[in-house]
Amino acid sequence: MNNNCVKKEETLSSGITLLREELKTIPSKPGVYKFLDSEKKVLYIGKAKNLFKRVSFYTQPKRLNTRLTKMIGNLKSINVEITNTEIEALLLESNLIKKFQPIFNILLKDDKSFSSIYISTQEEFPQISSHRGKKDKVGEYFGPFISRGAIYKTLETIQKIFLLRNCADSIFYTRKRPCLQYQIKRCSAPCVNLINKDDYRKKVSESINFLSGNTKVLKDTIAEQMRIESSKQNYEKAAIYRNRLQALADITAYQTINNENIEDLDVLIVKKENRYAVVQTTIFRSGSNYGSTQFFPKINQENTIEEILEAFISQFYNNHLPPKLILVNCLPKNNSLIQKFLSKILKSKSTIQIPKRGLKLEILNNCEKNALEVLNRKIFDRSSNRKNLELFSKKFKIKNNLNKIEVYDNSHIQGSHSIGAMISFSEEGFLKSSYRKFNFSSVEKKNLDLKINNDYLMMEEMIKRRFKKNSTLPFPEVVIIDGGKGHLKIVSNIMNKLSLNNIFLLAIAKGNNRNDGNEKFYINLNQFIELDRNDPLRFFIQNLRDEAHRFAIGVHRNKRNKNLFFNPLDEINGIGQKRKQNLLNYFGSAKAVKKASLTDLLKVPNLNKKTAQTIYNFFNDS
């Protein structure tokens, strides 16, 4: 027996001994257990109806597969948390997995937040808008819409047909005349009373019926209105109804299935190939297809599709409201518990079902075909990404196993609105969840004081922040900088100070004509490599740099736009939304508030003398 085998047996034995000792105090109650390593990092989080029985399982070496053997070998401590019920344990487990991201759990890495359509029915003239996040505002919600295109197209159609406002309250209550939406016949201008409350409410009610799937009555009503106006020879009005009818036809065609026999349901398909898996999610609401998306959970090769589905449902529906029916291609492990978990969240019965016949089986089969195609494409992409990483590693003689590359870029306009951007790449492709942005307000001030545009200061600040000691994001094996020798010198000095000499640095300097194909790739201050214009490695590095540039430009644009809409009233202590609205209603704009005298400010409704003085001092103190 070799030394490695002996060492593995010793560490496994040590882990089992620890568990047997801990079992003396673990109760036979429902709860959650956490396995931790020597650095107190969470290895695994599990739930149990009976904690004692569940933890006892890990003390039986013959029942442990390769993954569990490795896990118990790294185990140094265990924490347990008791719950009242097994369902509570499942909810807690889901939250803790999301928080700690244990390496031995099935992880829903790319959890997405979907948008809904929101109608603020509590208002006198309700607003329609897209909504993402918690549904904590009073009103009607419709969705979720998986496709961003689907929600925008639906909102556009509703505005064309029902002429509902989509403006924010701060704009609505300060309008003096109709906006462009009214001119292009997408709003009825309730802001200036061009429609009365009852007629507007009727349109809101019709839009709710439409979003609830009741389109047939609506089509008949619009067609009848078009016929009446046409018979009166009011052809302009008839044309308006015709356009609304066409918009309605377009949106129902866009939603590929519109069938009253299909209730609110989700379709979940799990496909697995070795260590790769996909969960395809398709959402139907009120007979309409709201779109599909795919998730690629982090799994081990030994995980079954039943285990993957259980983990997915517990993590996904902990953040999204489940429907009454979920169609699946396999039942999740602990199906009975999972259905109770879903029903608790929905506050009504939620059922998981494998359809046997009819339209539901047809829908499932179509989704299953799509999921298989997506998985095959993902496997191909990962293989291609791995080849690119190997190509890079070979060309630049990377000593460590290359798993991740980070690329850094910055963006500004003559030193203002400065931001830095970092993107990550691995065999899984671009790791969007690991992207980071850096604001440089302190660097901007230095630049202004020195009257310079200093890219070097920005790069220095960005690298220092990224590689600080308490960073929770794992470090890469390679760092690519969009810049020349000067940038490389700055970054190299920082890495030396931080004792991170094992990270390979590469700087991309543009050629004399600053165009693609003439770049110099600096691996140190005195050595660079030039790649052939058609070299696949050059295309790969260029793709990485372009993604960093795209991300930097996008973040910079958002920062610039926020400043364009910046309201100085938001900076004044003691001025909340209501007082701000009163000020804008009275003066018409923040600019007018700034020019107002103390006497004028005291005339604003519900504004006391102390607050008026605070506002006046804010704008007039030097």
In tens, the pLDDT along 269-326 reads 999 998 899 999 998 887 777 778 889 998 988 899 999 999 999 999 987 889 999 9
Kindly report the CATH number assigned to the domain that includes residue 530: 3.30.420.340
Tell me the C-alpha distance between 20 and 560, whole Å: 59
Check whether residue 154 and residue 18 sit in a common domain: no
pLDDT tens, residue by residue, 103-134: 999 888 665 678 888 999 999 999 999 888 77
Check whether residue 219 and residue 146 sit in a common domain: yes
Number of structural domains (the chain) is 5
Tell me the C-alpha distance between 299 and 411, whole Å: 37
Tell me the C-alpha distance between 208 and 215, whole Å: 10
Whether 108 is covered by a domain: the verdict is no
Check whether residue 242 and residue 319 sit in a common domain: no
Domain of residue 454, residue span: 405-563
pLDDT of residue 480: 96
Kindly report the CATH number assigned to the domain that includes residue 579: 1.10.150.20
Check whether residue 453 and residue 534 sit in a common domain: yes
pLDDT at 19 > cutoff 90:
yes
Check whether residue 55 and residue 171 sit in a common domain: no
Check whether residue 346 and residue 246 sit in a common domain: no
pLDDT of residue 516: 60
pLDDT of residue 48: 93
Mapping DSSP to helix (H, G, I), strand (E, B) and coil, where does residue 403 land?
Answer: coil
Kindly report the CATH number assigned to the domain that includes residue 287: 3.30.420
Per the DSSP assignment, residues forming a β-bridge with 210 are none
Whether 107 is covered by a domain: the verdict is no
Whether 139 is covered by a domain: the verdict is yes
**Amino acid code (one letter) for 302:** E
Whether 548 is covered by a domain: the verdict is yes
Among the three residues 227, 254, 281, which one is the final residue of a domain in this structure? 254
Smallest CA-to-CA distance from 284 within 217, 366, 341 is with: 366
144 and 117 Cβ atoms separated by less than 8 Å: no
Smallest CA-to-CA distance from 115 within 85, 92, 94, 145 is with: 145
pLDDT tens, residue by residue, 225-260: 788 878 887 777 777 777 777 776 666 554 544 555
pLDDT of residue 452: 40
Sheet strand arrangement including 351-353: 288-295, 276-285, 265-273, 325-328, 351-353
3-state secondary structure 591-606: HHHHHCCHHHHCCCCC
pLDDT tens, residue by residue, 421-475: 999 999 989 998 899 988 876 554 454 444 444 778 888 889 998 998 767 788 9
Check whether residue 461 and residue 480 sit in a common domain: yes
Check whether residue 592 and residue 579 sit in a common domain: yes
Tell me the C-alpha distance between 552 and 422, whole Å: 8
pLDDT of residue 81: 93
Check whether residue 585 and residue 457 sit in a common domain: no
Q: DSSP letters of 407-443?
A: EEEEEEETTEEEEEEEEEEETTEE-GGG-EEEE-HHH
Element (H, E) at 141: strand 140-145
What tokens appear for 538 in the block? 């050059």
Whether 399 is covered by a domain: the verdict is no
Whether 395 is covered by a domain: the verdict is no
Tell me the C-alpha distance between 440 and 445, whole Å: 9
Tell me the C-alpha distance between 225 and 508, whole Å: 64
**Count of Cβ atoms closer than 10 Å to residue 33 Cβ:** 22
Threshold 0.95, pTM exceeds: no
Smallest CA-to-CA distance from 159 within 183, 133, 185, 139 is with: 185
pLDDT at 622 > cutoff 50:
no
Kindly report the CATH number assigned to the domain that includes residue 32: 3.40.1440.10
Instruction: pLDDT band for 10, please (50, 70, 90 cuts).
Output: low
Check whether residue 248 and residue 131 sit in a common domain: yes
pLDDT of residue 450: 43
Whether 436 is covered by a domain: the verdict is yes
pLDDT of residue 448: 43
Burial class (CB in 10 A: 0-12, 13-18, 19+), 515: exposed
Among the three residues 546, 563, 580, which one is the final residue of a domain in this structure? 563
Check whether residue 553 and residue 573 sit in a common domain: no
Whether 105 is covered by a domain: the verdict is no
Residues 184, 186, 190: CA angle, nearest 5 degrees: 110
pLDDT at 27 > cutoff 70:
yes
For tokens 């260029």, name the residue.
Answer: 542
Q: Kind of pairing, strands 478-482 and 429-430?
A: unpaired
Smallest CA-to-CA distance from 586 within 606, 568, 571 is with: 606
Instruction: pLDDT band for 563, please (50, 70, 90 cuts).
Output: low
Smallest CA-to-CA distance from 79 within 8, 2, 1, 25 is with: 25
Check whether residue 409 and residue 555 sit in a common domain: yes
Mapping DSSP to helix (H, G, I), strand (E, B) and coil, where does residue 386 land?
Answer: helix
End-to-end Cα, the chain, rounded Å: 81
